[in-house]
Amino acid sequence: MKYLPRVHLDNTMVTALERGQLLLQPGQWVRFDSGVESRWIGLAPHGGLWLCHGHNGRHDEAKFRYKRAAFRWAYPQVR
């Protein structure tokens, strides 16, 4: 699966994620209506979105890897 261009996440897109109609790879860049850019980590079984947000327009690769590992530990059944 290839990365998509930066995905705009609005309510419709979040619903598609929850229903499994849209799949994102970990590390995929997403943007919200507020303009916040984040990297996608995963969707928890209870519907929680896991994302890694930057600070002051900067993104930390180590922070993303740490959160990705935490997600995989917490939800090993999720791809």
Banded pLDDT at 54 (limits 50, 70, 90): confident
Could you tell me if residue 2 is inside a domain? no
Banded pLDDT at 65 (limits 50, 70, 90): very high
Ramachandran sector of residue 17 (left: φ over 0; alpha: ψ -120 to 50; beta: rest): alpha
- Total domains in the fold of the chain: 1
Question: Which residue type occupies 35?
Answer: G
Residues with Cβ within 8 Å of residue 38, at least 6 apart in sequence: 29, 30, 31, 32, 51, 52, 53, 54
The answer to whether 45 touches 75, Cβ cutoff 8 Å, is yes
Share of the chain above pLDDT 90, in %: 63
Could you tell me if residue 13 is inside a domain? yes
pTM over 0.75: yes
Could you tell me if residue 79 is inside a domain? no
Q: How many residues does the chain have?
A: 79
The predicted pLDDT at position 38 comes to 92
Could you tell me if residue 21 is inside a domain? yes
Range of the structural domain that residue 61 is part of: 7-74
Could you tell me if residue 19 is inside a domain? yes
Could you tell me if residue 15 is inside a domain? yes
Phi, psi (deg, nearest 5) at residue 58: -115, 140
Write out pLDDT tens, residues 11-50.
999 999 999 999 999 999 999 888 888 999 999 998 899 9
